[in-house]
A and B are shown apart, each in its own frame.
Chain A
Amino acid sequence: MNTEPLVSVRTLTKSFGHKVVLKRISLDIAEGEVVAMIGPSGSGKSTLLRCMNHLESPDSGCVLVGGAPVGYALKNGELHELSDRALSYQRRGIGMVFQSFNLFQHMTVLENIVEGPIGVLKQPRAEVYEHARHLLDVVGLADWADHYPSQLSGGQQQRIAIARALAMRPQVMLFDEPTSALDPELVGDVLEVMRTLAREGMTMIVVTHEIAFAREVCDRVVFMADGEIVEQGEPGKVLAAPQHERTREFLRRIL
Chain B
Amino acid sequence: MSGSAGGKPCKPRQDGRGDRAANGRAAITVPDDAPIFSRRQPWTPVAAVACLAILAYIFWSLSQNPVIDQEVILEYLFKEVTLRGVAVTLYLTIVSMAVGLVGAVILAMMLLSSNWVLSGLARLYVWIFRGTPLLVQLIFWGYLGIFTPNLSLSLPFIGTLFSVPTAQIITPMIAAMLALSLNEAAYAAEIVRGGILSVPRGQVEAGRSVGMTQFRTFRRVVMPQALRVIIPPMGNQVISMLKATSLVSVIAGADLMTNMQRVYSQTYQIIPLLVVASLWYLFMVSILTIPQSWLERRYGQSTARSTPRRKVRRTVAANSRATGLVGEEK
* CB-defined contacts of A147 to chain B, threshold 8 Å: 308, 312
Q: B211 contacts A106, CB within 8 Å?
A: no
* CB-defined contacts of A165 to chain B, threshold 8 Å: 209-210
Q: A103 contacts B206, CB within 8 Å?
A: yes
- B293 beta carbon closer than 8 Å to chain A: no
- B203 beta carbon closer than 8 Å to chain A: yes
Partner among A96, A106, A144 whose Cβ is within 8 Å of the Cβ of B209: A96
* CB-defined contacts of B213 to chain A, threshold 8 Å: 84-85, 88
- With A143-B315, A143-B318 already in contact, the answer to whether A91 and B202 are too (CB < 8 A) is no
Q: A164 contacts B210, CB within 8 Å?
A: yes
* CB-defined contacts of B324 to chain A, threshold 8 Å: 137-138, 140-142
Stretch at the interface among A2-10, A149-157, A221-229: A149-157
Interface size of A in residues (CB-CB distance below 8 Å): 53
Q: B225 contacts A105, CB within 8 Å?
A: yes
- With A88-B208, A143-B313, A151-B308 already in contact, the answer to whether A115 and B325 are too (CB < 8 A) is no
Q: B211 contacts A189, CB within 8 Å?
A: no
Q: B312 contacts A146, CB within 8 Å?
A: yes
- A168 beta carbon closer than 8 Å to chain B: yes
Q: Give per-residue flags for A79-120: 1 if the beta carbon is below 8 A from chain B beta carbons, else 0.
A: 000001100110110111010101111111000000110011
- A121 beta carbon closer than 8 Å to chain B: yes
- A193 beta carbon closer than 8 Å to chain B: yes
Q: B203 contacts A104, CB within 8 Å?
A: yes
Interface size of B in residues (CB-CB distance below 8 Å): 42
- With A150-B305, A153-B329, A196-B325 already in contact, the answer to whether A92 and B211 are too (CB < 8 A) is yes
CB distance from B233 to the nearest CB of A (A): 19
- With A142-B324, A143-B312, A143-B314 already in contact, the answer to whether A89 and B211 are too (CB < 8 A) is yes
**Max chain A Cβ within 10 angstroms of own Cβ: one of B209, B214, B327, B329:** B209
Q: A91 contacts B208, CB within 8 Å?
A: yes
- With A98-B202, A102-B205, A104-B221 already in contact, the answer to whether A143 and B210 are too (CB < 8 A) is no
CB distance from B305 to the nearest CB of A (A): 6
* CB-defined contacts of A149 to chain B, threshold 8 Å: 302
Q: B209 contacts A115, CB within 8 Å?
A: no
* CB-defined contacts of A142 to chain B, threshold 8 Å: 318, 321, 324
- A53 beta carbon closer than 8 Å to chain B: yes
- B4 beta carbon closer than 8 Å to chain A: no
- A148 beta carbon closer than 8 Å to chain B: yes
Partner among B215, B220, B303, B321 whose Cβ is within 8 Å of the Cβ of A115: B220
- With A119-B220, A146-B312 already in contact, the answer to whether A102 and B211 are too (CB < 8 A) is no
- A74 beta carbon closer than 8 Å to chain B: no
* CB-defined contacts of A146 to chain B, threshold 8 Å: 308-310, 312
- A159 beta carbon closer than 8 Å to chain B: yes
Q: A91 contacts B211, CB within 8 Å?
A: yes
Partner among B203, B206, B302 whose Cβ is within 8 Å of the Cβ of A148: B302
Task: For A93, give the chain B residue with the smallest CB separation.
Answer: B211
- A192 beta carbon closer than 8 Å to chain B: yes
CB distance from A193 to the nearest CB of B (A): 6
- A20 beta carbon closer than 8 Å to chain B: no
* CB-defined contacts of A35 to chain B, threshold 8 Å: none
Q: A98 contacts B206, CB within 8 Å?
A: yes
CB distance from B260 to the nearest CB of A (A): 44
CB distance from B317 to the nearest CB of A (A): 7
- With A84-B213, A92-B211, A120-B211 already in contact, the answer to whether A106 and B318 are too (CB < 8 A) is no
- With A119-B212, A143-B313 already in contact, the answer to whether A148 and B301 are too (CB < 8 A) is yes
- A212 beta carbon closer than 8 Å to chain B: no
Q: B208 contacts A106, CB within 8 Å?
A: no
15 contacts between A and B (CB under 8 A): A88-B208, A88-B216, A91-B211, A96-B209, A102-B200, A105-B203, A106-B224, A106-B301, A107-B302, A108-B309, A140-B326, A140-B327, A189-B326, A189-B329, A192-B325
5 further A-B pairs in the complex, CB-CB below 8 A; given A106-B228, A120-B216, A138-B324 = A102-B206, A108-B310, A138-B325, A143-B317, A156-B329
B residues lining the A interface (CB < 8 Å): 200, 202-203, 205-216, 220-221, 224-225, 228, 299, 301-303, 305, 308-310, 312-315, 317-318, 321, 324-330
**Top 5 closest pairs, chain A to chain B, by CB:** A140-B326, A116-B210, A140-B324, A102-B206, A143-B318
